[in-house]
Structure 1
Amino acid sequence: MSDHNVGVKDAQFAQTASTAQAAGPLAASGNPNYFRDASGNVLILNGSQAWNTLQDWGSNGSPQILDFNAFINFLTAHGHNFTLLWRTELPKFCGFPAAASSPPDLTVSPHPWLRTGPGNATDGALKFDLTKFDQRFFDRLRTRTQALSNAGIYAGVYLFTGEWLNIFRCSSDGYPFTAANNINRIDDGYAGGSKGTGSVTMTAPNAITGFQDAYVEKVIDTLNDLPNVLWIVSEEAPPNSRWWNSHQISHIRAYESGKPHQHSIGYAALIGPGSSDMALYNSNADWVAPSVRISPATSCGSGIPACKVNINDSDHSYWEMWKDTPLQNRNYAWENFLVGNQVLFMDPYVVYYPRENRNLCVSPTNAICSSPDSRWDNFRNNLGYILRYSRKLNLANVTPRSSLCSTAYCLAQTPSVG
């Protein structure tokens, strides 16, 4: 494809909802750019992901319950086959930049551990007991992951959210691993301000990793039998979290090795001074979500496997995409596809984000809307168009061939048979 205005509305790519259950677990295919499913079919993953699809978010201390069935219908209507389920670690996060002035503090629930007390945490609720899981969190995680599977949608499960620890902390956030917020004398060393990353920047196992590992094992026990799961360690952890990320990858792989399914493990971009996507490529993750706008044609390094499936997530790579034109947005998705990669859209969905008109969704109540902003529908549709077009290709044998077209964005099979 040599036309930069690719992926616009086209009747032949009309979206249809998926009815086939996800076939998995996904594993590396013979073509290192793509996964294969349990039947051996080589495929790409494309879709919208949103912040509040696992836990409820809301301002003024009032988390709003998401209509998850509506979210699944939204994904299938746009032809998507992949999303993420976020776990926001902070019970309250402060200064979310959705508004130009007076950015809101948002409350989040549920969480993996019971809040039993005695005593209150800094967010005003009971302190956490880190030895007792809150089964309601895990039941919701399983129910929603299974519902996605039934709709033919793969789910990347975020185990942690490092970015929130890096920029959204405050003295009243209630973070479970800060001593004031648990009854177990576990302390990440947080001393105030918007940053407190001690729980992801250790360089050897400690008391915190023990509780983190137990939580990860509980998540794996909850979801291991489901075919549509992919793991992803953390959203935008700081650059000095490399030991911790590697520890989590190794722990997930070891713990799942004795279970019926082994799911692919992802490593998302590290964000902050000194960060480099080479940390991802040199890791032992199976797939990566880098910070570069257009991912490379191959994503290889010194880890095992050497080459990773690359899913370019606009959350890390295309900040402020709302300032660009729809054409520029579309080109970002198609260009990534045509160099052998896949695309996730950091879709604001129903989180009200009026700053710079990012997401003027419908009827916001406590920062959560009743339905999404249609301004993003063209981009959402194009992710579905790419997915449908990919099914016309023999993905097992196509490779990026920049020399074959004027724009340098081209997938081709040589020889062009089969």
Structure 2
Amino acid sequence: MYSLRPGLCFVLVAILFADTKAADPISLSDANPHYFSYQGEPAFLITSGEHYGALLNLDFDFGVYFDELAKHGLNHTRVFSGVYRENAKAFGITDNPLAPSTEGFNCPWARSEIAGGVDGGNKFDLTKFNPAWSKRLKELMAAADQRGIVVELTLFCPLYNDDLWKISPMNAANNVNGIGDFPREEAYALKHPAITDVQVAFTKWVVTELRDFGNLYYEVCNEPYFGGVTMEWQNRIVDTIQATEKGFPKKHLISLNVANGRKKVENPHAGVSIFNFHYCVPPDTVSMNAALNKVIGENETGFRGQADVLYRTEAWDFLLAGGALYNNLDYSFTAKHPSGTLRDYTSPGGGSVELRQQLGILKRFLSSFDFVEMTPNPSWIKKVTPKLTTQALVQHDKAYAVYLHVPLPSKPKDLDALLQEDIKAKVVVELPEGSFRAEWVNTKTGEIDKDERFAHPGGDKTLTSPRFSNDVAVRIVRD
């Protein structure tokens, strides 16, 4: 567990917490609301993060974890609140951070003096909050802030199956309040005022506790398209966040998790600024929802295999399609491996130190542009040979970000048969008259494998890549 000597911990948290009071929360960019503004600069969020248990699992050392993200320049993490927990068998995840031991479960509600919880611990009291949970939350937020990491705090999560409902604090079997004597599909549906009151009270408490942190936004519910979660209930939580913050000097962004894959958002709550999706291959949900003029994110990946190339190409595709948030679900992080060094996991996704290095290269590539002035425009690439998947972000007459990779389906059955070595591509684009520089960036090393300058009379221009394996990027700017 992440810990310091009590006196030193108090001083450090006090200093970091004081710093947060001077910073405005992350917000939408005034120049381009498809992106963020943070600490006075335009921003997008990118990470390869643990399976959401850094707060609720006392055995998880979030300080070591944040150090690993920061080492690669990654600036985001997704954290579940502890209202929801998993068991060790859930979803076949190796050493699942969301499946703490009974003693290691950091729940927002306090345990009572009454024995009999299904997990072997005392039952919970849904009218009393756990001060140790609040303390760890603030320490986590301060530690993330110190390292430039923005936290998505996911408040709720559906109960996917009866085994997960069986261990939930909201189940009547696990609390002393007699609340939760109903099917799991009715936990987030406004059908039972007593549990809704508990959820609203929790939301108010969290929002009040975190009022001064800037490196934060709230996500209402993970995957609310499962388990009976209603939009009316989600809107109730959004209303609660906004009402609680009404008198606060700082207001935090609110996210909805919309769908797996893609969906066009219709008539969204005006208080929502981030629309998150899972498993966005291809990333067409970005263009589908561009008219919202809000951030479109992909905050969970997986179920494609373990190979880094799958999630590297997914990240490049999504962000160059105009997304502003990408979180690879990284199964190399566990409580025993908080620095992300687990190799032999059998979880349904990927993650590795090499992938984190590669996502850092992507972050530096995009940050080298004035990206808030750019728009996705894949059709600007007129032709590419051999056949490759292409993405382009364009600032007309000034700068162009291009990404090419071998075509990959969402769930390849034989990945090795699709991968290609020693590719040399020709790319036809349209450029205005002027002098330009084209830098071909190796997506695995960050090195510039080819650097060329040329004068162009205007019109079509054919660029020839260096030889590469599977994917490559090119930065084209006026020289």
Same fold (TM over 0.5): yes
Structure of larger gyration radius: 2
User: What stretches of structure 1 move > 6 A for 4+ residues in a row?
Assistant: none
Answering whether residue 70 of structure 2 is matched by residue 76 of structure 1, we say yes
Q: 2:318 aligns with which of 336, 355, 358?
A: 336
Answering whether residue 154 of structure 2 is matched by residue 161 of structure 1, we say no
Which whole-Å CA distance do the structure 2 matches of 1:149 and 1:213 have between them? Answer: 27
Q: 2:364 aligns with which of 368, 388, 391?
A: 388
The equivalences for 1:56-75 within 5 A come to 56=57, 65-75=59-69
Specify whether residues 278 and 250 from structure 1 end up closer, same or farther in structure 2 by C-alpha distance, changes over 3 A only.
farther
Could you tell me which amino acid in structure 1 is paired with residue 137 of structure 2? L
Answering whether residue 303 of structure 2 is matched by residue 320 of structure 1, we say yes
* Deviation of the 1:116 alpha carbon: 0.9
Specify whether residues 182 and 321 from structure 1 end up closer, same or farther in structure 2 by C-alpha distance, changes over 3 A only.
same
Could you tell me which amino acid in structure 1 is paired with residue 111 of structure 2? R
Is the Cα contact below 8 Å between 1:94 and 1:168 reproduced in 2? no
Which secondary structure does the structure 1 equivalent of 2:114 belong to? strand
Deviations 1:164-212 (A, max 9, x none): x113635751x2222222122212513xxxxx23211336x72111111
Answering whether residue 49 of structure 2 is matched by residue 44 of structure 1, we say no
Which secondary structure does the structure 1 equivalent of 2:201 belong to? helix
Which secondary structure does the structure 1 equivalent of 2:90 belong to? coil
Answering whether residue 297 of structure 2 is matched by residue 311 of structure 1, we say yes
**Number of the residue aligned with 2:264:** 278
Which deviates the most, 328-337 or 142-151?
328-337
Specify whether residues 346 and 189 from structure 1 end up closer, same or farther in structure 2 by C-alpha distance, changes over 3 A only.
same
**Number of the residue aligned with 1:187:** 180
Which secondary structure does the structure 2 equivalent of 1:350 belong to? coil
Which whole-Å CA distance do the structure 2 matches of 1:156 and 1:90 have between them? Answer: 15
Which secondary structure does the structure 2 equivalent of 1:289 belong to? strand
Q: 1:136 aligns with which of 126, 132, 135?
A: 132
Is the Cα contact below 8 Å between 2:110 and 2:125 reproduced in 1? yes
**Number of the residue aligned with 1:403:** 379
The equivalences for 1:14-413 within 5 A come to 24-29=24-29, 30-39=31-40, 41-51=41-51, 52-56=53-57, 65-90=59-84, 93=87, 95-98=89-92, 107=101, 109-162=105-158, 165-167=159-161, 169=163, 172-173=166-167, 175-190=168-183, 196-202=184-190, 206-239=193-226, 240-241=228-229, 242-270=231-259, 277-279=263-265, 282-284=268-270, 285-291=272-278, 292-293=280-281, 294-298=283-287, 300=289, 306-313=292-299, 315=300, 318-323=301-306, 325-341=307-323, 342-351=325-334, 361=342, 376-405=352-381, 406=383, 407-413=389-395
Which secondary structure does the structure 1 equivalent of 2:371 belong to? coil
Is the Cα contact below 8 Å between 2:82 and 2:106 reproduced in 1? no
Which whole-Å CA distance do the structure 2 matches of 1:88 and 1:388 have between them? Answer: 33
* Deviation of the 1:233 alpha carbon: 1.1
- TM-score norm. by structure 2 comes to 0.67
Which whole-Å CA distance do the structure 2 matches of 1:361 and 1:249 have between them? Answer: 37
Could you tell me which amino acid in structure 2 is paired with residue 114 of structure 1? A
Between the two proteins, the alignment pairs up a number of residues equal to 357
Which whole-Å CA distance do the structure 2 matches of 1:158 and 1:66 have between them? Answer: 18
Residue identity (%): 23
Which whole-Å CA distance do the structure 2 matches of 1:88 and 1:361 have between them? Answer: 24
Which deviates the most, 64-73 or 395-404?
64-73
Of Structure 1 and Structure 2, which has the larger fraction of its residues in strand?
2
* Deviation of the 1:398 alpha carbon: 0.5
Which secondary structure does the structure 2 equivalent of 1:130 belong to? strand
Which deviates the most, 241-250 or 22-31?
22-31
Could you tell me which amino acid in structure 1 is paired with residue 25 of structure 2? P
* Deviation of the 1:92 alpha carbon: 5.6
Deviations 1:217-257 (A, max 9, x none): 11111111011011111111235422211211121122112
* Deviation of the 1:89 alpha carbon: 3.0
Which secondary structure does the structure 1 equivalent of 2:391 belong to? coil
Which deviates the most, 232-241 or 139-148?
232-241
Which whole-Å CA distance do the structure 2 matches of 1:408 and 1:362 have between them? Answer: 31
Which whole-Å CA distance do the structure 1 matches of 2:234 and 2:258 have between them? Answer: 11
Deviations 1:114-153 (A, max 9, x none): 1114342222221111111111001101110111001111
Which deviates the most, 21-30 or 121-130?
21-30
Is the Cα contact below 8 Å between 2:85 and 2:99 reproduced in 1? no
Is the Cα contact below 8 Å between 2:264 and 2:285 reproduced in 1? no
Could you tell me which amino acid in structure 1 is paired with residue 72 of structure 2? H
* Deviation of the 1:98 alpha carbon: 2.6
Which whole-Å CA distance do the structure 1 matches of 2:195 and 2:143 have between them? Answer: 32
* Deviation of the 1:300 alpha carbon: 3.5
Specify whether residues 258 and 415 from structure 1 end up closer, same or farther in structure 2 by C-alpha distance, changes over 3 A only.
farther
Is the Cα contact below 8 Å between 1:83 and 1:155 reproduced in 2? yes
Specify whether residues 90 and 227 from structure 1 end up closer, same or farther in structure 2 by C-alpha distance, changes over 3 A only.
closer
* Deviation of the 1:90 alpha carbon: 4.3
Gaps of 5+ in 1: 1-20, 57-63, 191-195, 354-358
- TM-score norm. by structure 1 comes to 0.76
What is the root-mean-square deviation in Å for CA atoms of aligned residues?
3.3
Which secondary structure does the structure 1 equivalent of 2:182 belong to? coil
Specify whether residues 172 and 396 from structure 1 end up closer, same or farther in structure 2 by C-alpha distance, changes over 3 A only.
closer
Which deviates the most, 175-184 or 209-218?
175-184
Is the Cα contact below 8 Å between 1:266 and 1:288 reproduced in 2? yes
Could you tell me which amino acid in structure 2 is paired with residue 206 of structure 1? P
